[in-house]
Amino acid sequence: IGFGMGISATYIQEYGIRSYTIVEPNDAVIQAFEQWKNRYDQNKIHLIHSNWQEASDQFKQYDGILFDPYFVSEPDAVEVESSTAVGSFLPRIMPHLRDGGVMSYFTREIDSLSRAHQRLLFKYFKSVEIKKIDELVPPDDCNYWWADSMMVVKATK
């Protein structure tokens, strides 16, 4: 969910996968996506031009999901900037994640996961791995991350 600058999309393509679906609402980002996609013209890459809240009827079955939306309105910003924003996404996406499938997301957590955050994960997943990544150096113009560490979640259904 979310193409953004295409960083994770590039890593995912280089890892090697059968198919890849991107959900992205932003027209300017989609223009960048179309240019990026040309580098992988032999790969099965699908675009859903929508925000995730309105696209769930187009979702298929997936082995892995990366949830990394960027807010496009003030109400979205309040929800997305919450450390448990993924909570509104999980009920809609879980029917589309295969058993044994893995989900990760931008946690917005610096050095730990709150109890509410952990409870939310265990409500939907049978296994959760949490790692702290240190020595991050976000650029000065980065408006969505500022810390030198981040918590990373790998949740398995």
The residue behind tokens 């398995």 is 156
Structure letter (DSSP) for residue 106: B
pLDDT averaged over the chain? Answer: 89
What are the structural domains of the chain? 7-156 (3.40.50.150)
pLDDT of residue 79: 47
Grade residue 80 by pLDDT with cuts at 50, 70 and 90: very low
pLDDT of residue 50: 94
Grade residue 96 by pLDDT with cuts at 50, 70 and 90: very high
Q: 11-34: per-residue pLDDT in tens?
A: 999 988 999 999 999 999 999 999
Grade residue 5 by pLDDT with cuts at 50, 70 and 90: confident
Long-range contacts of 112-119 (CB under 8 A, 24+ apart): 112/151, 113/83, 113/151, 113/153, 114/83, 114/84, 116/84, 117/83, 117/84
Better-predicted residue by pLDDT, 85 or 103: 103
pLDDT of residue 26: 92
pLDDT at 87 over 90: no
